[in-house]
Amino acid sequence: MRTIVVGGAQMGPIQKADSRVQIVERMIVLLDEARAKGCTLVTYPELALTTFFPRWYMEDQAEVDAWFEREMPGRETQPLFDRAREHGIAISFGYAELTPEELHYNTSILTDREGSIVAKYRKVHLPGHSEFDPDRDFQHLEKRYFLPGDLGFPVTRTLGGIFGMCICNDRRWPETYRVMGLQGVEMVLLGYNTPSVNSQNPTEGPSDRLFQQTGDAVGRLSKLDLGCRYRQSRCRRRFSHDRWQPDGRPQRQGGRRSENGRR
């Protein structure tokens, strides 16, 4: 039986004034904690290197581009890769990618335990809108700042398993899992940045928003405490017996059982 000890590194709030250096230092602190708990893989949330800048409307392209990374790792992110290699921990995190062709993507990467990037994914299902919306309490301008991902949903053989990635809103679309499932994926790394408040319906209460955070453990890694263990074997995979309404809220949540029939 293969054992992968996965750490879900919850970043907490990142402000517009926080620098890349400050943010990477926070990520390294979490990585050190993960090593102390025996993690072999740590995953961080969507757009981990910046505040969630699509909340703000910007017209100056230079201001927009300041939130993007032109290389990975770069000068400010290299210390994170160095510490991951020192600890022998694979890492996955999201960031805003600006390509040499000046294309903008919401991206996530996965490294091996030596700190080398082995997989890249670009977010396909972009939520939100592209122009300023005065009726929202805050903006969600992913469609203004990013292009839809052009890499599909690839899987990668690493860490003794088959891994895939998706980002935030991708989790709501069945083809995300179907495409990776057809390639034999065993674990999906999903970082997200879902707000606790609905910008279009501020009366929506916490219980209504809770459905955004439900699901199997691997599907919400960015919210897990450090040190959770996932044992990968055919007799240990778990199945859900839930029923969902068309709006994504649970209608009935049943138990979980393993392939061996145990709950």
Work out the pLDDT band at 227, boundaries 50, 70, 90. Answer: very low
Percent of the chain that is helix, strand, coil (3-state, to 5): 25, 25, 45
Work out the pLDDT band at 235, boundaries 50, 70, 90. Answer: very low
What does the DSSP assignment read for 157-207? EETTEEEEEEEGGGGG-HHHHHHHHHTT--EEEEE----SS-TT-TT--HH
Work out the pLDDT band at 194, boundaries 50, 70, 90. Answer: confident
Residue 245: the pLDDT is 59
For the chain, domain boundaries: 2-232
* Residue linked to tokens 């707000």: 195
Task: Based on the residue annotation, tell me whether 33 is a catalytic residue of this protein.
Answer: no
Q: 2-232 is classed in which CATH architecture?
A: 4-Layer Sandwich (3.60)
* Catalytic site residue from 39, 97, 123, 186: 123
Is the pLDDT assigned to residue 146 strictly greater than 50? yes
Dump pLDDT digits (tens) for 215-225. 433 433 333 33
* Catalytic site residue from 46, 97, 142, 186: 46
* Catalytic site residue from 142, 166, 168, 186: 168
Task: Based on the residue annotation, tell me whether 228 is a catalytic residue of this protein.
Answer: no
Dump pLDDT digits (tens) for 150-160. 999 999 999 99
Dump pLDDT digits (tens) for 128-140. 999 999 998 889 9
Residue 236: the pLDDT is 35
Q: What is the pTM of this model?
A: 0.82
CA–CA gap between residue 10 and residue 14 (Å, rounded): 11
Residue 167: the pLDDT is 96
Task: Based on the residue annotation, tell me whether 123 is a catalytic residue of this protein.
Answer: yes
